[in-house]
Amino acid sequence: MEKTIDESKQGETLVLEQKTENTRKLFIESYGCSMNFSDSEIVASILHKQGYNTTQNLEDADLVLVNTCSIRDKAELTVRKRLEKYNAVKRINPKMKVGVLGCMAERLKSKFLEEEKIVDLVVGPDAYKDLPNLLAEVEDGRDAINVILSKEETYGDIAPVRLNSNGVTAFVSITRGCDNMCTFCVVPFTRGRERSREPQSILEEINDLWNRGYKEITLLGQNVDSYLWYGGGLKKDFDKATDMQKATAVNFAKLLELCAKEQPKMRIRFSTSNPQDLTLDVVETMAKYKNICKHIHLPVQSGSNRILKEMNRLHTREEYFELIDNIRRILPECSISQDMITGFPTETEQDHQDTLSLMEYVKYNFGYMFYYSERPGTLAERKMEDDIPLEVKKKRLDDVVQLQRKHSEYRTKAYLNTEVEVLIERESKKSDQHWSGRTSQNIVAVFPKANFKVGDFVTVKINDCTSATLIGEGVALSNL
């Protein structure tokens, strides 16, 4: 459980349909959050039009790109190892070009290009449309770099290709950047100010996905609850909007409703929420529409008010409890998951116990847990001493993980002898005789294949479970 949200996909080599007229080959890998995987689909779409087909074979590639994450030290170490691998291949194939995309690009641009000379181009999250120009620079024998952060770019005008897709689920990006200056987080510095994508372009992308057979989408943003469209511009400038702009503005609850009504047979998920911005009209909208999945990922990071303040999280423990209580009241069947950090600077044993007691109160369905890893450029790195010994961080993380396992088992056992609706996404990893899919609550369920197929909604009777997986048998096809 102590993994990033998409660690099951870490390093996935992304491939799309091949264009016969394209003569060059692109190898692209992604690390980190769902936004990075979504961005890679945008990059592949841009380069597809520049004559590149994607390949899973590194040795065949003319261009190798790695989409990077700066959230944790482990992610950066993994990317560095991959760059070493790329350059070993490049020595055999000198024409191959190597580039770094994403969140590490801005922070390590000089190191990668000038000091270590391990890449040919460095491209930040807001500069992907400049890739054709940057590649021309590289072809002319010059290093190429663009890490300028934009106040407008949302890529709403680019139809992402779906890479290594199961043809059932897809990401739809609705915001970029983040205005929350959490002291442990590098995202505001690597992805810039928060801006929202025009609602109509979101609906058009959802309609296109439905027409191509997709059954579920996840609305993506660093903080989806902050979504606010009033004709363009940064969220922080909304107070300067005209009266008409304010009157016709679309917030996240309204966008969620628009999406649910646009395709009532398609499942709608969203990620990630922030406790300080999740409003009850969002929860009420979830309750109103059957096709909006009943799951909220609600990172809390710590159960201690003192540590929350040090993290610049703009909510208290008590406010978080009130929000949880309201979610349970409005949407009793909703599952809730968490992000948690142990060993943040100055964390005491009492702070740690506060985290454990918060977990006991909520009893999350699942979570993503880490010990604190100081990230260069963050407020915590600049102003706080990383003063908790590693062995203490790891011990506290183990306490959190063990408690979460207990709560996950408690939550999955509640589904025994009930029927749930599952969307089949793929074959089970453990058995080619079983399907694997997820419930509305984002709980994985496996069951015998029988006559069902990928993309079917199936009513499944739950007979057994582990702490992470429901085990059952398909009863019948169901429809949203």
Instruction: Indicate whether 278 pLDDT > 70.
Output: yes
Percent of the chain with pLDDT over 70: 90
**d(C-alpha 464, C-alpha 84), whole Å:** 45
What digits encode the pLDDT tens for the residues 54-84?
888 899 899 999 887 765 666 677 888 888 8
Cis upstream peptide for 272 (omega within 30°): yes
User: What is the mean pLDDT of the segment spanning 240-259?
Assistant: 93
d(CA 185, CA 187): 6
E-only strand ranges, 221-311: 228-229, 250-251, 267-271, 295-297
pLDDT score of 212 more than 60: yes
Residue 351 confidence (pLDDT): 98
Residue 306 half-sphere exposure toward CB, CA atoms < 13 A: 11
Higher pLDDT, 77 or 122: 122
- pLDDT of 162 strictly over 80: no
**Is CATH 3.40.50.12160 correct for 7-146?**
yes
Q: Domain-by-domain residue ranges, the chain?
A: 7-146, 169-414, 418-477
Phi, psi of 352 (to 5 degrees): -65, -45
Distance of CA 200 to the CA centre of its chain: 22
Mean pLDDT of the chain: 88
Lowest-pLDDT range, 33-42, 194-203, 428-437?
A: 33-42
Instruction: Enumerate the known binding-site residues.
Output: 33, 69, 103, 178, 182, 185
Lowest mean pLDDT across 19-23, 27-31, 89-93, 374-378: 19-23
What pLDDT was estimated at residue 292?
Answer: 98
Residue 8 has pLDDT above 60, yes or no: no
What would the pLDDT profile of 304-350 be if each residue is shown by its tens digit? 999 999 999 999 999 999 999 999 999 999 999 999 999 999 999 99
Residue ranges of the annotated binding site for [4Fe-4S] cluster are 33, 69, 103, 178, 182, 185
- Look at residue 6 in the predicted model and tell me its pLDDT: 36
CATH 3.20.20.10 is the classification of domain 418-477: no
**Topology of the domain covering 169-414:** pyruvate-formate lyase- activating enzyme (3.80.30)
pLDDT score of 95 = 87
Report pLDDT digits (tens) over 50-60. 899 888 889 98
CA dist 35 and 177 (Å) reads: 10
> 7-146 and 418-477: same fold?
no
The pLDDT value recorded for residue 37 is 80
DSSP code of residue 369 = E
| pLDDT score for 157 | 63
> What is the structure's pLDDT at 115?
66
Q: Which residues of 250-274 are buried (b: 16+ CB within 10 A; e: fewer)?
A: bbbbbbbbebbebbeebbbbbbbbb
pLDDT at 408: 98
pLDDT per residue as tens digits for the range 78-112: 888 888 888 888 888 888 999 888 877 777 777 77
35 vs 151, higher pLDDT:
35
Model confidence at 161: pLDDT above 90 = no
- Please tell me which residue, 417 or 146, carries the higher pLDDT value: 417
pLDDT tens across 346-386, in order? 999 999 999 999 999 999 999 999 999 988 888 999 999 99
Return the minimum-mean-pLDDT range out of 163-172, 219-228, 425-434: 163-172
